Structure 1
Amino acid sequence: MTSTSSKPHDIQSLDTLTGGAFTAPTSGERAQRIRDWLAGNPSSEQMQDVFKELSGRDKGAARLLREKLDELKRAKGQEAIAAEWTQKAQALLAQPKLNIADALAWQRDAAKAGAPLSREPLAGIKTQLAERVKGIEDLQHRAQVHREAAVLLAQRFEVLSTKSWRDAQAAEEALRSDVAHWQQQAAEIVADGNWSSLDAKFAPQLESSKAQLLVVSDAFHGALAQAQAAATDLAAPLPPVPVWADELRVARGGVPEAAAPAPVKPAAPKVDPEKRAAAHGAVEAALLKLEQETAQGHGKASAGAAAALRAVLKEHGRLVDAALEARVHAALVAAGELEGWQRWSADKVREELVAKAEGLLKRPEGQALGGRKMQETLRALREQWKQSDQGGVPNHALWKRFDEACNEAHKVVEAWLEKVRADAAEHRAHRLALIEEVKAWAAEHANGSDLKAINRALHQFADRWRDAGHVGEKVFAELQSQWSEAFGAARAPFEAQQKASIERRQAMIAEAAELGAAPMLRIDAVKSLQQRWQAEAQSVPLDRRQEQKLWDAFRAPIDEAFNRKTAEREKASAAMSAHDRSVLDASKALEAASGTGDAQKIRAAIAQLEAAMRNQASAEAAPAAASADGPSVGATEVVAPGQAAAEFSESAEQSPSPEDAEAQPAPSQVDAPAASADLVAPADGADPSARSDAEATPAPAPAKPAPKPVIAVRGDDRPGNKKSEPALAARGGRFGDRRDSRGAPGGRPGDRAPRGGERGAPAGGRFGDRPPREDRGPRLGDAAFRAQRDAFERADLALRKLAAQAHGEALTQVLGAWEKRDASQLPSAQELGRAVTPAVRNAWSQALVATPSAPAGDAAEALLRLEMAAEVPTPAEQLEARRALQLKLLTRRGDPAPTQTWGQDAGKVLAAPHDAASARRLQNALKALLRK
């Protein structure tokens, strides 16, 4: 059977197996049938087959199978782990000597490994280990208690030896039974199975206690038997116990040994006074030294002084009087107290160090110390312990605890050191591989031409070497020499290119210095030199600091030359002419008018500024002199009004003011002084603004006829002016009118008239024939030029803002008049703008006066035509009507378009009754239409 025929059969069988999980109509039913099938504990092979087929059909139902399979997989893994840790635990239990630490470590490590300690067999084994550990600890406690019991029994023997021997005889049997019982218990402790698991110190301690108790018991019973014999036989020797011997001696009629008279001491021989004085001086000196050290609190010095005093007292003590001997004993007692206090304080310090050492491994998991920090901490703790040993008597018990804690904590340091060694070996291999890679790269790119890529690769190699990881100092010194050799060989060709590039740049710096020192700055040579520098900088990269230093040296002479030229130009333009001052005053007046918000004042100020720029006041003051004189030589260049004036908004042109008509010069006034306004450019190409006032004075009129006028060319280098670009066409007439390049109004700047011209045109068709240019006035200085330009821009913005406000107010008045059906509230034609003619305005007024009688269909269609003319969106509920109207208009090609009849359509809407929705639509349409 092929695979195509077996697959449906397999799915059918799996569907039968799962109770219809594959043919269930919904995902929820499939998931429920899979849960029911899994409740029967199917085999893992069956679940794998079902999951394989169901995962591509239903992810939700397949997730149940995946979770069950993962659970079985985890269970198998836990069984393997449980078997492993069960074997380890059984090995621990089988040992005759079980270490408690190993048993506790088994439970901790098993939990870390993920072993199921709460399930069998690990649960039972864990219980067995816990019971075994508890038995060992109980046996250890019993051994310690038994040692204390032996001490108490020995104390009972000692107490009975201080009482009457008859009391001891009465308690003898009880003592014998207690000692026998103690021996029996000691034998049981030794015979316990966990006795071998105890620490090795407990066995000798118990044996020592047993031997000591037996010795005391035998001596007690022997002395008691001797006392009984001495009580019955007067000739028998007395027992060695003093209390019993005195009691038997009194019973025999004698005197106690303590009441016997003391032997008479012979009289001490006389001592030489000189020897007594010498001994007294020696003891006094040693005593003063001890008292001084004790008062200052010097522990070791006081101990030495006390030892010296004891030695002197041992030699001369018999020659010292009682008073000095009392002082000596008091000083020795004080020194002993100081030594004891220092020993106590040293022990307190040692206990703190022990607590710190034991707490190193008891920190929380998030505050555990790392390897290096642990090493430094252990080193500091051991140094502190050495200092504490120097100030007092050593304490071996505390030292043992401290050393064990430090050794346990040092395991962390050992693991860290092992990791450091492994990392160092890995880092060394990585560095060696990097050196070989650099050598191979150097052989491959020895003659490379892309220096930027080579520099980038070298920097990447250097970064990789720096980030290659830590190695030992000796290893790093060895590898560093190899790296320096390989990296130097790889960098040698690039450094040679850099050296050659630096030499070329030094030559260009010298050339820049020559250009900057020249009396006439050659702009073309400077640009060529800068281009060569940029090409060199882009081809050969240098170090950033070195490249910046060379660039500063290169640009310094050129900047100095340009600064020198700028200073000269500013010095020449520092003296402001009367024309510039008048333009500045007119510019300030225009700015003040722009701030008032009055359109008439703004237009009047604009006219005054244009008149000031054309210097009409000076021209009217001396018309005769202007007409009599010929063209002046060396006059300044004429500039057109500000660029902002040409961009004035159309709203400013809608209602011209009388001031504009009066400010515009007549054609005769423009053409008459044309000859005197012609300028002659400097022959040497120097800046005309740099000429002195003496050169600007008009020369005497020549006797011969006036020469042909020459159009001046701007020679300055102010922003926005380039000699290579043709000057913009002059503008004249009323503010906002444009002229073409031939002086004809209405053309665009730069448009040229036909060469031959049309028939009847006044302009000739020959080359060089040009119409007379309008008078633009004398050339302005930089400050005046910028001031008038800024003033025109601000006036333009103010007029635009006022026009927008007037437009919005007019539109609001139209809607208010419609709502109240009051034609008197309708704005005038001038307020509505040039888009609304007086006839249209009269039609609107009549529509408002008449009684609303327009059909609703006509008003709705008129609104749609208005929205189509204004190109504004139509409400969603009217979109079908708009599409129908568009189709209707397509069939009527002879009818006028909505853009031609929008005034009549607006009248139809105004003739209809007012409603809010129609008013909103009319407002959106008229807002766009009144601006056109």
Structure 2
Amino acid sequence: MTSSHSAKHTDISQLDALTKGAFSAPTAGERAARVRDWLAAKPSSDELADVFKELSVKDKGAAKLVRERLDEIRRSKGQEALGAEWAAKAQALLAVTKLNIADALAWQRDAAKAGAPLSKEPLATLKLELAERVRSIEDLQHQVQVQREAAVLLAQRIEVLSTKPWKDAEQALESLRADVEHWQAQAASLVSNAGWPSVDLKFPPLLDASRAQLLVVWDAFQAAVAQALLASGDAAAALPPVPVWADELRVARGIPLEPVAKPGKAPVDPEVRAAAMAAVKDALSKLEAEVGEGHGKASAGAAAALRQALKEFGKLIDTGLDSQAHAALAAAGELEGWQRWRADQLREELVAKAEGLLKRPEGQAIGGRKMQENLRTLREQWKQTDQGGVPNHALWKRFDEACNEAHKVVEGWLEKVKAEAAEHKAQRLALIEEINAWAAANRTALDDDWKGFSRILHQFGDRWRDGGHVGEKVFAELQPLWKQAISNAAAPLEALQAQSLIARQAMIEEAKVLGAAPVLRVDAVKALQQRWQAEAHAVPMDRRQEQKLWDAFRKPVDDAFNRKTQEREKAQSSLNSHDRTVLDAAKALEAANATGDAQAIRAAVAGLEAALSGQAQAQAQVKDAGVQEDAAKAASAASGDAPATEPDQAADASTTADAQATESSGDSESAEPLAALSPAPVVAKPKPVVAVRGDDRPGMKKEAPALPAGRAGKWNDRKDAPRGGRDGKSDFNARGGDDRPRGGSWQETPRLGDAAFRAQRDALEHAQFALKKLAAQAHGEALTNLLTAWEKRDAALLPSAQELGPRINAATRGAWQQALGGSLKVDPKGVSPAEALLRLEMAAEVPTPAEHLNARRMLQLQLLTRRNDLAPAQTWGQDAALVFSGSYGAEEARRLQNAVKALLKR
């Protein structure tokens, strides 16, 4: 340990000496200053790493300077590596004989993106050399264009001299010869330039064409001048081919000139001129659009279309449109030159794809059909790439060899397909022979099983469809043979189907007659349907045809039944007086539901129940009976007859009431709806006398009151009690739970129609929902007011007993008033408000907060030891009063609300 510590101390002392006291400096400022002085001496990377390792523990500020120098050295090394890499690429570009301008420009762009130091050597020099090389190539291309224009100007000078006297042409001959020789020398110097192979491929053909055109014109001009000189000295010599010079020599020889009548230009039809202008403008707009978007391939086609349009209509368009078209063609030519480099890249990608068709893993090998499609696609893409550009024969050779090698897979697949097609053809021919043999042996169905006959035919069809693939030509040969064979085999079934079709058409007509009859004969319809089913089971037909026939057969019968149903529904749709009364009561209940008044809803429910039980009709009958009795009395008094005895009057009243009831029930369609829906008292029927067996069982004697339910003794003490509900109600009312008053038994209540039944059912459901909602709102408001009264210690704010519900009696509410008023007596057992709140939560069976769970468990254990004390569920009113007597708190109020809400709902 001592030796390592001493070694470390020795290292630090050496580093301190190396950094001229940076480790022993007393302050951070001095350490930083000495580190800067040391860094100015440019120490090595190893020394910097050692100093940074030790100094970063002692002074991070000074170590930051060392770390920055390390990062700078690391970056410089990375820059050197990048510079060497891109320098190699630049040297490779400069070493090639044919330099692509796009590649040189791309080198500078990609090097800048990669972060190479282009401003440092050797990249700075290489960048200048590439720029100079590109500039020289561009200069060569520009000189080619200049030479082309110079050749055109020389040709124009020669053409102008051909319009002047031949003496002028003879004088200018030497100067023209010098200019032509100079032009040829310049063209030769361009071709011999070292950068000529790097010139774009479109410029050498331009220069060659200009040279050839200039030489042709120059040779013709020299020959014409020599001919003119010869003709001027010899009158028998032939005249030169230049018209102006020939006329001049004729005049010199004394030969009169014949006036040449110039043919006049034929007038151009305005419609033809407009059509020509439109065609050229259309082609021009397409070319400008393609050039603007930079589409090289499309622009080549558009330029070709514009050139063709100019050839056809160039003489019919104006000068402005012609100049605009030539400017667009020039722009398209420049774009085409830039796109040629991209075309070579696309060709290389296609070559790579073609060579990669066979270089796939075993699990990813391409099948014959897929290989054929891929080869066809690649060749189409190559054709599209070649359109509008100069072809690349070297790449085409590689591409074609790769495609031919991959096509061997296609050839093997095609041979396999041919073998399978021959096999499939033999199978189909054998199937046709089998069908012919079967048709000859089965001219009728076995045991009249025509369904089995049809099934066999369908099986033949399935075997034909699953017979495998054959060529189109072979299939065209086999298809007629198949149709003839299957038609011959199906001839017996088709004949039987034709007979069955006639029979079914006859049954359809019979069904129409039965459906149109005024009285529908159900027995005849059933018999006809049985006949149809027998015919359908006996003779199979095509599914679609059979379905159409069945629909046509069923429609008249269905229409007749529907007509009968509509008549029945129409007869049932007329409401009687009972239905109208129930509908009116249901509408009144819906209106009460909308008001949100619980009292009004209950009154409307009572009115609807009275309408359902028929009490409203009974009340109306009683009214009508009273009116009839009063009228009879008045008539009797007017006629002076003796007053009837009391029994007679009762009998007359009863008779009149019965008659009135009969009349009202018979004329139910004209009865008006009742104005009031409140239940009316119904005269009770005399209670029938029921024989009761005398016994001494509890509840059976008149003087012994019946025991309450559940406390009558053993479970079988009431086994002889009458079946049914309580208080002598019928078992129907007991099971249904409906104890509303009824005017008679349920058999006597008229049956409701569908509309009235649905209306009263929906109205009662809505009423129950509204009452539940109102009760919940009232319960919530009462609970909120109760907590507010506790918070403000104001007994006047305590809700009434009706608002609190049936679970709160007057004594409990009085205890709560005393607790809120502060006059509640202290519990003699010493129960605190906190313990009372726990008892409330136990009674309500609601959860207790986590911080009070231990207290609740302790209280439960204590309650288990108090056997004679009442349970919390029986004393929750007193416990709530104890809580109200205590101080108000937000947490206590929330716990009390949860407990009391559950207890008030029970």
Please indicate, yes or no, whether the TM-score normalized by the shorter chain is above 0.5.
no
Could you say which structure has the higher helix fraction? 2
Query: If the TM-score is normalised by the length of the shorter chain, which range does it land in?
Result: 0.3 to 0.5
Give TM-score scaled by structure 2 length: 0.44
